[in-house]
Amino acid sequence: MKRIYLDHSATSPLDKEVFEQMRPYFSSKFGNASSLHSFGREAYEAVENAREKIAKVLNCKPTEVFFTSGGTEADNWALKGVALAKKDGRHIITSPIEHHAVLHTCQYLEKNGYRVTYLPVDKYGFVKPADVEDAIRKDTILISVMHANNEIGTIEPIEEIGRIAKEKEVYFHSDGVQSFCKIPTDVNKLNVDMFSISAHKFYGPKGIGALYIQEGTKIEPLLHGGGHERGMRSGTENVPGIVGFGAASELGLKRMGKDSEKMISLRDRLIRETLKIKDSWLNGHPVKRLPNNAHFCFGLIEGESLILYLDERGIAASTGSACSSKSLEPSHVLLRIGLKHEEAHGSLRITLGRENTKEEIEYVVKVLPGVVKKLRAISPFKSRKELSSFKSTEED
């Protein structure tokens, strides 16, 4: 059976060209980038070369790009690092639909004496810039609002929030893991002081990411040791990973316009056809959303069974974020945009990639209505009324 991968927001395949560029750094070019000899210099140059390629996508200086083990570390670093560095306050502002790498870090900080304001979001998942302004207090040290949501694809008004943050002289971090190399991420236009990115979400390798930190930003390192990354992030550089990260960024920048045009056309075809299914709707904003994201709900259906049925037919999709899909708790994002518990359970996230074809989308569009119908036929919830008494069982 042909398998169709439609879960690119969980992770993406490593691009063949990217892998080829990484390959020598696993074997002959194995040097430690800190070593003074030729092996070391070879590795060092590869790392700096990659840093430049990433800086190009962000439109920043290469010295403002700091490598991390991924998006999770970058998010943790931005929040904890600023909390440790700024002694003049203990208040943070964020949205309730952030990735868990931000939300759980905020909860951890709350346990340690920090106060966190979780802004309201509307039915599309938008944060209102005016709400950010109202939430700023004398002791606010940081605002963290994601660029694009990993579940419903909504693109937040980052420029405006950033303008307010600048005016009020509060640091502004944005989780750009889903937006980097998919939509423009010029950090000057976005008015951000910090921006998290991760390579495996755009055809690069897993386990490598970066935090953009604008020059002059007060932030403490999380990892201490040999003083790598100019003392900001110790640990021997993951050279093959960094090379792959750079290669994927170069490729991503070059292909952004073309790829997104193609994905928007496939995405919109998918949305149009899927919404013909009875009792279905689209989550997230219809236009201000990632080019590759389509997120639906189907009434009277359980998302997990939908994923398994689709998988049997060769289609790999997701119910929400990969991290939460193993638990039966409904997505915090869907609950916060106003869906009921039982509605949030019937969700399907389809995230496209540059390798997906029209034929694949036609296949999905053909298979999906039948799967939904079948699941509804065996659904224990015969009506909306019964459905509303349904409660999820918690699972670790």
Ligand X SMILES: *Cc1c(COP(=O)(O)O)cnc(C)c1O
Q: Among the candidate windows 87-95, 172-180, 225-233, 371-379, which touches ligand X by CB under 6 A? A: 172-180
Contact characters 227-266, ligand X, x per CB under 6 A: ----------------------------------------
Binders in 146-165 for ligand X, by CB under 6 A: 146, 150
For residues 129 and 209, which CB has a smaller minimum distance to ligand X in the complex? 209
* Given 144, 154, 198, 249, the residue binding ligand X (CB under 6 A): 198
Tell me if 309 sits within 8 A of 371, measured CB to CB: yes
Report the nearest approach of ligand X to the CB of residue 173 (Å): 12
- Does 94 participate in binding ligand X (rule CB under 6 A)? no
For the bound state, the minimum distance from the C-beta of residue 177 to ligand X, rounded and expressed in Å, comes to 4
Which residue bears the tokens 């689709």?
310
To the query of whether residue 323 is one of the catalytic residues in this protein, the response is yes
Q: Does 178 bind ligand X (CB under 6 A)?
A: yes
Give min distance, CB of 293 to ligand X, in A.
11
CA angle 232, 238, 243 (to 5 degrees): 110
How far, in Å, CA of 192 to CA of 161, rounded? 9
Looking at 60, 106, 181, 323, which residue is catalytic?
Answer: 323
Q: Is residue 175 part of the contact set for ligand X (CB under 6 A)?
A: yes
User: Which residue stretch of 43-51, 66-74, 80-88, 214-222 sits at the interface with ligand X (rule: CB under 6 A)?
Assistant: 66-74
User: Cα–Cα distance between 264 and 261 in angstroms, integer?
Assistant: 5
Min CB(386)–ligand X separation in Å: 35
Q: Does residue 7 touch ligand X according to CB under 6 A?
A: no
Query: Residue 82 is which amino acid?
Result: V
72 lines the binding site for ligand X (CB under 6 A):
yes
> Looking at the annotation, which residues are catalytic?
323
Q: Which residues bind ligand X (CB under 6 A)?
A: 70-72, 75, 99, 101, 146, 150, 175, 177-178, 198, 200-201, 209
